[in-house]
């Protein structure tokens, strides 16, 4: 029987990294890491949902703490556009 809740805290999932990036405020990754994360996000709906959830929480947090330097809104905007990429990939798979 499949696990009802896949463990997002172990590879290949990137939830731990996402938490560091968002709540941890360490939005400083090199290009390779960003590429790997984007690649995983494109293929993994679970991590994508988790990321959007995390960023939503962060955005709400920032609204109440205006001194925060990280712009969750910018990050959220950046990653929401990944959905468009995913839609394109899925459309491609449907055709083949």
Residues that bind Zn ion (CB under 5 A): 13, 44, 46-47
Distance in Å, CB of 46 to Zn ion, minimum = 5
Answer yes or no: are the C-beta atoms of 39 and 60 closer than 8 Å: no
For residue 5, cis peptide bond before it (omega within 30 degrees of 0): no
In angstroms, give the least distance from the CB of 90 to Zn ion: 16
Q: Which two tokens stand for residue 72?
A: 């969750």
CB of 54 to Zn ion, least distance (A): 13
- Of 32 and 66, nearer to Zn ion (C-beta) is 32
**Residue 47 vs 58, nearer CB to Zn ion:** 47
Q: Which of 13/23 has CB closer to Zn ion?
A: 13
Segments in 1-96 forming alpha helices (H)? 15-21, 31-43, 45-64, 72-80, 82-95
């Amino acid at each position: 029987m499949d696990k009802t809740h896949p463990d997002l805290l172990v590879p290949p999932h990137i939830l731990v990294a996402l938490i560091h990036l968002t709540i941890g405020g360490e939005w400083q990754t090199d290009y390779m890491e960003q590429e790997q994360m984007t690649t995983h996000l494109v293929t993994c709906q679970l991590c994508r949902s988790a990321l959007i959830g995390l960023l939503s929480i962060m955005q709400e947090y920032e609204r109440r703490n205006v001194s925060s330097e990280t712009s969750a809104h910018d990050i959220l905007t950046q990653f929401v556009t990944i959905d468009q990429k995913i839609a394109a990939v899925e459309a491609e798979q449907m055709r083949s």
